[in-house]
Amino acid sequence: MGKPKKRVSPRIANRVNRDFERLIFLCILGAVRAASAPWECNLPEIIRRVVILVYIDFWDETGFW
């Protein structure tokens, strides 16, 4: 049998969770920056990135991920 698990301070656990969410966001943001838009338009690059992030947020809310 293994050792019993140590209790983790809630403050530390919350910080770890926030860092994990931040890392996921940065990973998705890197993918968005690397992706080119699948359409031809004269919109600025920032608008294309916002559109991609909105789609990712929609998929996350619907349980796609």
Q: State yes or no: pLDDT of 52 exceeds 70.
A: yes
Q: Does residue 18 sit within a domain?
A: yes
Number of domains present in the structure of the chain: 1
Cα torsion at 22, 65, 59, 61 (round to 10°)? -70
| Domain around 41 | 10-61
Mean pLDDT, range 14-29, rounded to an integer: 72
Single pTM value for the model:
0.37
Looking at residue 13, its pLDDT comes to 64
Q: Does residue 44 sit within a domain?
A: yes
Q: Does residue 36 sit within a domain?
A: yes
Q: Does residue 55 sit within a domain?
A: yes
Q: Does residue 3 sit within a domain?
A: no
Mean pLDDT, range 32-61, rounded to an integer: 69
